[in-house]
Structure 1
Amino acid sequence: MNYRKLGKTGFNISEISLGTWQVGGKWGDPFSHDNADRILNEAVDAGINFIDTADVYGDGESEKAVGRLIRSRSERIYVATKCGRRLQPHVNEAYQPASLRAFVDDSLRNMGLETLDLIQLHCPPTEVYYRPEIFDEFDRLKQEGKIQHLGVSVEKVEEALKAIEFPNVTTVQIIFNMFRQRPAELFFQEAQRRNVGVIVRVPLASGLLTGKFRMDTSFSAQDHRNFNRQGAAFDKGETFSGVEYETGLAAVDELRSVFPGDTNLAPDALRWILTFDAVSCIIPGASKPEHLTSNLEATQRPAPTSEQMIAVKRIYDEQIKNPVHYLW
């Protein structure tokens, strides 16, 4: 495993880390603690030392599983969680310092911890990034020892750029992959200038970039890849990175010729992300141990050649950019 600095937190974290949206089972299925325990422990055994969760994953069950892992292992494992998405309705006006403080207390209780290494605002409405009182509250929580660092999880580059104007924002979690390349422009430059850690989520475009999906691939009724393709439940960009399914399949077909001989494109897609120095870590998910194994193969792959980098950019520019680039 290779390790990188998580910005001004100073944490030295595994460049391939673990997101836990679906770690308890497949998306939409009931949370399985046995499955979660197996995947989490195998991740740590492989050298992963940074785990990202959220209070809404499995309605708190993911946090409980992560907390159980932290307490059962001797290794230093950094845990990041998120708050805000439990607000109903999830609107700017619902974001209040007292509510966020209560969410932090709930996460500490769920995980059985005295302090959180990293708490992240969980994709709040854009207006929240213009309210200093929200960010000030986390300074107080840090003074009280309840959190070590504040980060944000964003939908849009615009939100990321605004968030890092606040000096106490140490990390930004953002969607970045072969089908979502805009962050590599101004945002990565500004993040490096301000020593802000960059956590990449949805690195495989909800599985599209594995190369394993076909036109007739079916997803369960509870799977967001079935019901959220047009943003029915949450931001459309979280599902297939906002790319229309058929468009994504066509682009993946072209990517197969760029990385010939690889039936599983996931390691290539992850390794491509790691060529960007601004990236601190990637947090692909895993609903079973073999997904974890596939993700970790990226650390053994050579960097893409300059010809491959150019080809990936060409495919993006020709097939993906126009409908996606300017929305997020």
Structure 2
Amino acid sequence: MVAVEKRTLGRTGRPVSVIGLGTWQLGADWGSVDEDDALAVLDAAMDSGVTFVDTADVYGDGRSERLIGRLLKGLGADLAEQVFVATKLGRRAPQVPEEFTLDNFRAWTDRSRTNLGVETLDLVQLHCPPTPVFGSDGVYDALDTLVDEKRVAAYGVSVETCEEALTAIARPGVASVQIILNPFRLKPLQRVLPAARSAGVGIIARVPLASGLLSGKYRPDSKFGSDDHRTYNRGGDAFDVGETFSGVDYDTGVAAAREFTELAPSGMTPAQTALRWILQQPGVTSVIPGARSSAQVLANASAAWMPALPPSILTAVQDLYDRRVRAQVHHRW
């Protein structure tokens, strides 16, 4: 591994690389990725200094976790200890608050421990559960029990809305909040990031490229596979529509991304510019872009070394958001 900037992930007390790796795409919902290519992506992440890997028990029904488990086993004990793996629970059952019980949490985390080949999970996160779950004393008591039983070392939440994030941040045991944050999703900057900083809670920025829009590669006629959520979830038919293109209408997103592309400084791609923008937001611990190839991993990781964006670009991002995107997303999430 090469050395990259690390920040402490909130109440876990653990350092993680500022650029991590999201692994939803290695399990499902982004088109097929064969096993060799998936393992090559994970190897490239390690080679580029990534020490933070995010997954979930439902990504490919555990495929993503199992691939990461193979990676950890192959690294050996010393190197594996440097890798922080965050997984998630809660979407293996009907999405009703009654399913969020200690017995289910034990079963789900035991399955993840087996998939990953570890005794104790570094971090388990509630996986965008129904909103009432975030206010349930019983849910946090159950998560505390998992820590006491050493099934997990720490717990956090992954949220859809800023209000859910603020509810979770107020809980003393919550180590981190994972939230959609990118130049097309600025609302977390107003209250969530300041609250997290004040409470010592880590912020993991997900969907950082707005499902690829911010790479500037897509056009109005771009096509995605039938097994890609960018095809089947545009209307929110499978899960929260905010997960796909950050909730922005595709044509609007393509037009806004074209403008964003023009903001990229010389020597930086639009995707690297978006990642660098996120890293400059006070309170962000790590950003977790996905990747389907080793080249994408290396390009994303290199954003950690790139120079800070000047104030003029930060102002231009705010202007672009206000003109193109705010009306579609700000009131919803």
The TM-score, its normalising length taken from structure 2, stands at: 0.95
2:233 and 2:210 mapped to 1: Cα distance?
13
1:113 and 1:204 mapped to 2: Cα distance?
31
Q: Are 1:44 and 2:50 counterparts?
A: no
* 1:277 to partner: Cα distance: 2.3
* 1:264 to partner: Cα distance: 3.5
Give the alignment of 1:77-116 within 5 angstroms: 77-87=83-93, 89-116=94-121
Indicate if the aligned counterparts of 1:6 and 1:196 stay in contact, CA closer than 8 A: yes
Indicate if the aligned counterparts of 2:7 and 2:285 stay in contact, CA closer than 8 A: yes
Q: Taking structure 1 as reference, are residues 285 and 42 closer, same or farther at Cα in structure 2, changes over 3 Å only? A: same
**2:31 aligned residue (25, 28, 32):** 28
Indicate if the aligned counterparts of 2:147 and 2:154 stay in contact, CA closer than 8 A: yes
Indicate if the aligned counterparts of 1:24 and 1:35 stay in contact, CA closer than 8 A: no
Indicate if the aligned counterparts of 1:212 and 1:264 stay in contact, CA closer than 8 A: no
Structure 2: 5+ residue stretches without partners: none
* 1:306 to partner: Cα distance: 0.8
* 1:26 to partner: Cα distance: 7.3
Residue deviations 1:12-43 (CA, integer Å, cap 9, x gap): 110001010013587132x5322222111111
1:209 and 1:262 mapped to 2: Cα distance?
16
Aligned partner of residue 284 in structure 2, secondary structure: coil
Give the alignment of 1:114-193 within 5 angstroms: 114-193=119-198
Q: Taking structure 1 as reference, are residues 93 and 28 closer, same or farther at Cα in structure 2, changes over 3 Å only? A: farther
The TM-score, its normalising length taken from structure 1, stands at: 0.96
Q: Which amino acid aligns with 1:188?
A: L
Q: Which amino acid aligns with 2:310?
A: T
* Alignment partner, residue 53 of structure 1: 55
Residue deviations 1:154-209 (CA, integer Å, cap 9, x gap): 00001000011211110000000000000011110100000000001100000000
Q: Are 1:304 and 2:309 counterparts?
A: yes
**In angstroms, what is the RMSD of aligned CA positions?**
1.4
Q: Are 1:19 and 2:22 counterparts?
A: yes
* 1:275 to partner: Cα distance: 0.6
Indicate if the aligned counterparts of 2:157 and 2:174 stay in contact, CA closer than 8 A: yes
Instruction: Identify which range, 231-240 or 94-103, moves more after superposition.
Output: 94-103
Aligned partner of residue 205 in structure 2, secondary structure: strand
2:52 and 2:128 mapped to 1: Cα distance?
20
Q: Which amino acid aligns with 1:250?
A: A
* Alignment partner, residue 71 of structure 2: 69
Count of matched residue positions in the alignment of Structure 1 and Structure 2: 326
Indicate if the aligned counterparts of 1:211 and 1:263 stay in contact, CA closer than 8 A: no
Aligned partner of residue 258 in structure 1, secondary structure: coil
Aligned partner of residue 316 in structure 2, secondary structure: helix
1:41 and 1:151 mapped to 2: Cα distance?
26
Aligned partner of residue 151 in structure 1, secondary structure: strand
Q: Taking structure 1 as reference, are residues 61 and 256 closer, same or farther at Cα in structure 2, changes over 3 Å only? A: closer
Q: Which amino acid aligns with 1:64?
A: R
2:21 and 2:241 mapped to 1: Cα distance?
22
2:153 and 2:282 mapped to 1: Cα distance?
24
2:233 and 2:51 mapped to 1: Cα distance?
31
* Alignment partner, residue 253 of structure 1: 258
1:122 and 1:221 mapped to 2: Cα distance?
24
1:161 and 1:41 mapped to 2: Cα distance?
35
Q: Which runs of 4+ in 1 moved over 6 A?
A: none
2:268 and 2:301 mapped to 1: Cα distance?
16
Report sequence identity in percent. 47
Structure 1: 5+ residue stretches without partners: none
Q: Taking structure 1 as reference, are residues 261 and 212 closer, same or farther at Cα in structure 2, changes over 3 Å only? A: farther
Instruction: Identify which range, 89-98 or 298-307, moves more after superposition.
Output: 89-98
* Alignment partner, residue 211 of structure 2: 206
Residue deviations 1:61-107 (CA, integer Å, cap 9, x gap): 111111121222132111110000111x2222222221122101111
Indicate if the aligned counterparts of 2:234 and 2:241 stay in contact, CA closer than 8 A: yes
Indicate if the aligned counterparts of 2:48 and 2:298 stay in contact, CA closer than 8 A: no
Q: Are 1:224 and 2:229 counterparts?
A: yes
Aligned partner of residue 173 in structure 1, secondary structure: strand
Aligned partner of residue 172 in structure 1, secondary structure: strand
**2:5 aligned residue (2, 6, 27):** 2
Q: Which amino acid aligns with 1:93?
A: E
* 1:311 to partner: Cα distance: 0.6
Aligned partner of residue 121 in structure 1, secondary structure: strand
Indicate if the aligned counterparts of 2:28 and 2:59 stay in contact, CA closer than 8 A: no
